Amino acid sequence: MINITLPDNSIKVFEAFPTGMDVAKTISEGFARSCVAMEVDGQPMDLSSNITCDCGLKFITTRDDAALEILRHSAAHVMAEAIQNLYQRADLTIGPVVEDGFYYDIDMDPVSEEDFPAIEAEMQKIIKAKKTFERTVVSKDEALAMFKDNPYKMELIKALEDQEISLYRQGGFTDLCRGPHIPHTGMIKGIKLMKTSGAYWRADQTRQQLQRVYGTAFFDKKELKKHLHLIEEAQKRDHRKIGNKLDLFSFHQEAAGMPFFHARGMDMWNVLLDYWREAHREAGYVETKTPVMLSRHLWEKSGHWENYRENMYTSVVDEEEYAIKPMNCPGGMLLYKTGSHSYRDLPIRAGEIGLVHRHELSGALSGLFRVRAFHQDDAHIFMMPEQIEEEILGVLQLVEKVYSQFGLGFHLELSTRPEKSIGSDEKWEQATNGLKNALDKYGREYLINEGDGAFYGPKIDIHIKDALGRTWQCGTIQLDMALPERFDLTYKGTDNEKHRPVMIHRVIYGSIERFFGILVEHFAGKFPLWLAPVQAILLPINDELNPHAETLQKEMSNLGIRCEVDKRTESLKKKIREAQVNYIPLIITVGEKERESSTLAVRTLDGKVRMGLTMEAFSQVVLKHIKERTLDAQLFE
């Protein structure tokens, strides 16, 4: 007799060994049709597997995130079968699930997107056949014999320590796989091949180059359509294209992965930093600055030389080895140690806009999202243990204030002690409870990632959501019990004895370059007035009016309005159109009538034109919007 306990603590009793599908059908036929796989005592398994002992059972249904990963894994098998059906020479290697889809690396003749319709048509045949996924286990020798004609599978099998090898069959197609898989191919309702690229076997440039074919899959055709629309929108918002179009930044081979910010980009950059400094002053932070290059012995002391050396740029100065900092923390430790501290001084909140360098592989570089040189808006908060909750709460409130200024939503995740960690159980419990209590008091829901904290302390990750609903991990709050110990940081307590402070590392923008890129895509280049690199542009209708336009430009600049004059000999209509395409919020036509009456004709991006505005009335409205940093695009009533 088998007793199966479901998540609601109800128990299903079976005389024989049921499959997962058998159990699902006892709940309802409709529920069974929505099931994709199951977890037996936490272990993922196919629904066709027999349950042979008492256990806890959880079904994975089409509504669960884990189900989509299983579906896409199965879709990779369908794509591999279709390609083998169509191409005489196609040796399969590996086909994992990745973010938003899957890929398969295959040793075959080159394929392009022009070949996708034929491959997709073959995939649809396999899907319509509703082929079941059947798991079998064979010996290592049997597996080697089965895949004797595929050198890649042979290499994979030989590398496995297991003497029993798991295979999956769908009709006449068989592949190495641990599973689990969906019950049958018919569950794949929406599928699309996305792109192809080259890839080296085992990521080794000395080995065979393969064809990597990417695809995505969904349980619902509507979800696929929605996903493809999102990709199309994201391509339109690509920060690299918009950055080039608006003359914000560029990249050059002479400094791969290190962005160059243009004059307009720097205007926007400085606005971001001005806001950051204002918000942090109000929150009780001081601003500090540490050197970009520090000696090797400091990085050995911090642990970075041992654990992060391959990502650091180094040099020799006066016969001593130095490293360009990949992070700001060790310099912050030295600053703390420049003086003695009492419990009366704590907390100390010290922020730094620090330029850091990290060696990223060239293939991983991606616009402003993945660079080798970037600025972090670091802050280190030194405090007593009893101040943890209050300080974490303060950071969370600051995070909300900053992100809401850009119209960005966010969610929180708490990561707890990993298997490998340092510090006593007591310190970990105190630190984790401090974070939990602060999150509970803050009042937002949060996810808990058990065992996903840093080795030196628990952390809170902050994931922002942009206008397209995409999430980005930017902010983080980490409690550190390692560096205060390594650098022997102390403060004098109420008992007049030395104590070890607790330290928080935190960033809000994170990488400012990356945050800049996210904002470009979030607003699609159509920035709110306070953030726009060019807030107003003056368009004189002829050369004779250029001096008047320049006078107006100086007046506006003196008021704090970022303003330019377009003196080109193009038609007024073309100038207006280009200003609109470049999302300049205020387009001001300068004609003879405006000069004589000392007024302005102002066009906004909603297409409305306000005639006869005095400079006083104009500047009053504009400066109010800038000062309040409003997101409202409606500037004038």
Q: CA 474 to CA 12: how far, in whole Å? A: 45
Among the listed residues 237, 264, 358, 514, the single catalytic one is 358
Annotated active-site residue 380? The verdict is: yes
Q: CA 54 to CA 301: how far, in whole Å? A: 52
Q: Which residues make beta-bridge pairs with 156?
A: none
Upper half-sphere CA count for residue 423 (Cβ side, 13 Å): 27
Among the listed residues 239, 264, 341, 459, the single catalytic one is 459
Largest CA distance in the chain: 98
Upper half-sphere CA count for residue 625 (Cβ side, 13 Å): 22
Among the listed residues 505, 514, 548, 625, the single catalytic one is 505
Annotated active-site residue 358? The verdict is: yes
Long-range pairs of 227-231 with CB within 8 A, sequence gap ≥ 24: 227/100, 228/192, 230/468, 230/469, 230/470
Among the listed residues 378, 466, 480, 566, the single catalytic one is 378
Among the listed residues 35, 329, 474, 563, the single catalytic one is 329
| C-alpha to C-alpha distances, 27 to 21, 51, 123, 456, nearest whole angstrom | 10, 16, 33, 46
Report whether 59 contacts 24 (CB < 8 A): yes
| C-alpha to C-alpha distances, 584 to 118, 248, 405, 526, 612, nearest whole angstrom | 46, 13, 20, 8, 20
The residue type at 157? I
Q: Is 252 left (phi over 0), alpha (psi -120 to 50) or beta?
A: beta
Tell me: cis bond preceding 180? Omega within 30 of 0 counts: yes
Among the listed residues 376, 478, 535, 553, the single catalytic one is 376
Among the listed residues 239, 375, 380, 562, the single catalytic one is 380
Annotated active-site residue 376? The verdict is: yes
Q: CA 470 to CA 128: how far, in whole Å? A: 32
Write out the catalytic residue numbers. Answer: 329, 358, 376, 378, 380, 459, 505
